[in-house]
Chains A and B, each alone.
With several copies, the nearest count.
Chain A
């Protein structure tokens, strides 16, 4: 066991902190939440420049070939800064294509993804908002050249910025297929932008007889289910890792506020009730931090630990949003204002809590894995 950062990881962390402090302060977060797509695009350009989308893509495909564990270090910083940029979407779709896709598809897409020339985002959920791969119903008809897709996917993050979606369909025979759809070049794809608590772009997409070539099929049958499960697990750990960073930032902000705000002639943070709130918040943040890094460690080129992924998301979903609410309690009235940044964290925590499976979903996965 080693809870310390490697040299590479320290480098990632320090450069991320420096960059994000400058380029993703709360004014940028607020601008993007207000629909400023230029701010978002500009941040993405810089992020590409730093090589973050390339981080975990194999060297042979133009990436840096770093591990999911290394990525996790970056994700905590992205979480702490609430950076509105689709690194998670990019990293997990790249991973699934790398692990399940054909050599041709990999050679085609991964170098472009590493360069930021394409952005592939997952499109999994349908009307029943279930993360269970089995529940996908979007119809795909087989043709000589590939598939023709008709149906709807909901809650697709950064769909407005994405060039492709990685989506799960069900073909005529009932067989599932995981497929990359180049939405920027396809006809028949319509977007409905949603107004979402996350403060980043989220849309629903309708597919009306959208043609996709055979080459874009990543996996079919049981393999498509396994790949989707892995996509969801990777997304869950990534969101949990962002939540870990977010939680750390909220603890720090709350310590800072309560140590300085005075009432009854005392720093508010000297009252035992507030100290105990903060002690419990700090324990929770540290626990989530360890669980997410343990889960991230388990993601290798051979697979991942279903248990650790579930535990990371269960703990992050429950503890970090609860921690945000307790932070509000410690901040009192000032934290209830729009002007104060605290609610930006709370909103993002609410979004990430549910994204890629809420705690109930992952508890059920974990229970099965524990032999129940």
Chain B
């Protein structure tokens, strides 16, 4: 066991930190509360900076433009970026689609897409969820019917993050309606400018437009855009979901928030600075910072397992549950410390900490729901991790 980072790792963390000191605006609170064109432009600009430093796809093999960097380095990068709430990352292209194409794509698909992702030139989005298929993904109904050299897609996807900015979508479609749930599904790559695609915005409860509903009306996609085998999309698509998910971004966000709160109440100009000598606040911060560290170690455990070639399936569920729960708790606590100021919205006169904690708390609501609700993650932990059996038949519970 070794509970410290190597000199090289610490050095890399410092580099990222210095880079962010340089390029982030003062008092930067994260792009999370900017859903406008400015924030998109900033995101693009940051992505270019990351490309310049060879960080955007550092985890990829050298042959595809990456640096073959270790899982530990990748998590440190993700940790530091999330800790500073830095924009510019591209989860869909670099972390989800890229590795999947390396594993399942054909030579032509790799040539066509990997370079563009590595250069930060193309924005991908993910077409998985449907209005009636949320947690239960295998029940998707969007159809793709082969017609000559093309698939014809009809249906609707929902919760499509960045759908309104994306150039391309990778999507799950039902290609064999007669097969049981998982078996009739394929993964397709779709140009978002194709005729018949309509993108409708969905504004979230934090008043931000991240999501979209995407309607497919006789959308024709070349057969060559099929990734992997026909009707093998479930396996291909789930690989995307499982790839290198350490969950560090939640622990990092929680760490950032709690440190910000400590600085804030230690500032005598803060109207709630009396909190710093309130024993209950002291105790609560100690408690939360312990939980944050506990969640953070779970993430690095997942990363370590990944580096050792061990399968981190239920461990990733653990880090997701722990990270998202503590992230919400820390934000709740921030609102508690802010007292009445916690009720002020970004942009309000007299707002403290720019009203960001309220906005972040609203946004964090999704973290325990998306990518598999925490309830489902706990099922996974119990069944895959602990080996507990599934229900055999209808339970008579009362």
Contacts and interface: CB of A to CB of B under 8 A. Distances in A.
Contacts of B8: none
Interface in B157-205: 158-159, 202-205
A282 B318 contact: yes
Nearest to A192: B349
B356 to A, nearest CB: 13
Contacts of B318: 282-283, 286
Interface in A1-32: 1-6, 9
Contacts of A337: 202-205, 211
The bracket for how many chain B residues form the interface is 35 or more
Given A129-B340, A297-B3, A279 B385 contact: yes
A264 B395 contact: yes
B293 interface: yes
Interface in A66-96: 69, 73
Interface in B308-353: 308, 315, 318, 321-322, 328, 335-336, 339-345, 347-351
A59 interface: no
A314 B287 contact: yes
A224 B348 CA distance: 32
**Highest count of chain A CB atoms <10 Å: which of B139, B303, B366, B373:** B373
Contacts of A198: 343
B229 to A, nearest CB: 26
A311 B289 contact: yes
Contacts of A283: 298, 318, 321-322, 381
A290 B134 contact: no
A308 to B, nearest CB: 8
B369 A291 contact: no
A195 interface: yes
Interface in A241-279: 251, 255, 258-259, 262-267, 269-276, 278-279
User: Interface of chain B, helix or strand or loop or mixed?
Assistant: helix
Interface in B2-33: 2-5
Contact of A314 (B290, B341, B373): B290
Contacts of B110: none
A61 interface: no
A310 B286 contact: yes
B348 A194 contact: yes
Contacts of A99: none
Interface stretch (B214-222, B231-239, B272-280): B272-280
A336 B129 CA distance: 15
B361 to A, nearest CB: 8
B257 interface: no
A100 interface: no
Interface string B27-59: 000000000000000000000000000000000
B100 to A, nearest CB: 23
B382 interface: yes
A366 B293 CA distance: 13
A325 B375 CA distance: 14
B135 interface: yes
Nearest to B133: A263
A338 B203 contact: yes
A293 interface: yes
Contacts of A346: 205
A306 to B, nearest CB: 12
B248 interface: no
Contacts of B347: 195
A300 to B, nearest CB: 11
Interface stretch (A36-44, A174-182, A227-235, A357-365): A357-365
Interface stretch (A49-57, A105-113, A142-150, A326-334): A326-334
A282 B129 contact: no
B336 A69 contact: no
Contact of B391 (A127, A266, A278): A266
B286 A314 contact: yes
A59 B192 CA distance: 69
B294 interface: yes
Contacts of B72: 1
A154 interface: yes
A255 B387 CA distance: 8
A294 B370 CA distance: 31
Contacts of B132: 262
B68 interface: no
B119 interface: no
B389 A259 contact: yes
20 contacts: A1-B5, A73-B1, A193-B349, A195-B349, A196-B343, A196-B344, A204-B349, A264-B397, A266-B391, A283-B318, A297-B3, A311-B294, A333-B129, A336-B365, A338-B205, A354-B335, A358-B336, A366-B290, A367-B283, A372-B282
